Amino acid sequence: MIHDFHYLKPDSLKTALAMYAEHEDCKVICGGQSLLIVMRQGMVAPEYLLDIKHIHELSYISFDNQKGLRIGATTTHREIEQSPLIQEKYPVLAAMENKLASIQTRNWGTIGGNLAHADPAGDPAPVLIALKASIKVGSIKGERVMPLDEFFVDYFETAMEHGELILEVQVPPPAPKTGVAYQKFNLLDSDMGIVAVAASVTLDRDGKCKDTRVVLGNAGPTPLRMKNIESLLIGKKLNEKLFEEAGKISSTESQPVADIHASEEHRRHLLGVLTRRMLKQACDIAQKG
């Protein structure tokens, strides 16, 4: 059962950061959809719990053609899923959110909470990394921005130091002739993926691959950005054989962990299949875009 804690409820970001800096053994709760489960199992038992759920300064979705998309940390998954702006400019993001856990969890859980929890099987991270997103974190000492793929360090561990909160997710404007696709393999539609693959492809004027990213979910301690696939594909005319090769890289270079749902060998096989399929899908979208 949950251990006792002192409850801190700041009414603004400023007071929140001050409170967070003040207490050493302090955890942050926002939607709490992941945190409360681990607290109930006694794996996390802080002395202080800082509740930032109702800091409305951090709950927003904005977009402009230069800076691109800005999502506040306490924005709920459902708000992202149902935002007409995101459905239009970043459909893969809205589609991913629609398959994240249940409507109830999406109504209360937040994008900041999800990313801070840093579960390698989390859905948003691979998609956002494929979208070249970065993340703004801040503490009482100041703010900093880093690419999202540098934000995740290990299982359930991020690059944030004590006293730092996630403030905002930043996604560059959608580039022309670009397609992004994401799929997770699971038994039930909204389960976390046994494995997942996000892929983006940008084509240049004569149809060659100008830029690409393939990010594997639940295939290692953090979302894995497959740099070798990028060097394999960039500059080339994409075809089925190349997708096949990219799939091989995913299945050999990933570090999936076997569990009761699937063996390591099956996970590697699936990563290969999904990589091939998502690259093809992203490429088709790019050709149309």
Cα separation of 159 and 166, whole Å? Answer: 11
- CB-wise, 134 or 254, nearer to another protein? 254
Q: Tell me the closest approach of the beta carbon of residue 32 to another protein, in angstroms.
A: 6
138-144: Cβ within 8 A, 24+ apart: 138/17, 138/164, 138/165, 138/167, 139/17, 139/20, 139/21, 139/163, 139/164, 139/165, 140/17, 140/18, 140/20, 140/21, 141/21, 143/167
Q: Which residue, 164, 76, 160, 161, is CA-closest to 124?
A: 76
Q: Tell me the closest approach of the beta carbon of residue 37 to another protein, in angstroms.
A: 6
Q: Which residue, 258, 178, 271, is CA-closest to 216?
A: 271
Contact residues for another protein, defined by CB under 8 A: 1-7, 9, 29, 32-33, 36-37, 40, 49, 51, 53-54, 78, 98, 101-105, 107-108, 185, 187-191, 260-263, 266, 269-270, 273-274
Q: Tell me the closest approach of the beta carbon of residue 219 to another protein, in angstroms.
A: 15
Q: Tell me the closest approach of the beta carbon of residue 98 to another protein, in angstroms.
A: 7
Chain length of the chain: 289
Q: How many CA atoms lie within 13 A of 35 on its CB side?
A: 23
Rounded to 10 degrees, the C-alpha dihedral 267/273/276/281 comes to -110
Q: Tell me the closest approach of the beta carbon of residue 211 to another protein, in angstroms.
A: 27
Record the tokens describing residue 176, joined without a space.
């022309």
Cα separation of 13 and 139, whole Å? Answer: 10
- CB-wise, 77 or 213, nearer to another protein? 77
Q: Tell me the closest approach of the beta carbon of residue 195 to another protein, in angstroms.
A: 10
Q: Tell me the closest approach of the beta carbon of residue 251 to another protein, in angstroms.
A: 13
Say which DSSP state 252 is in.
Answer: H
Single-letter amino acid code for the residue at 253 = E
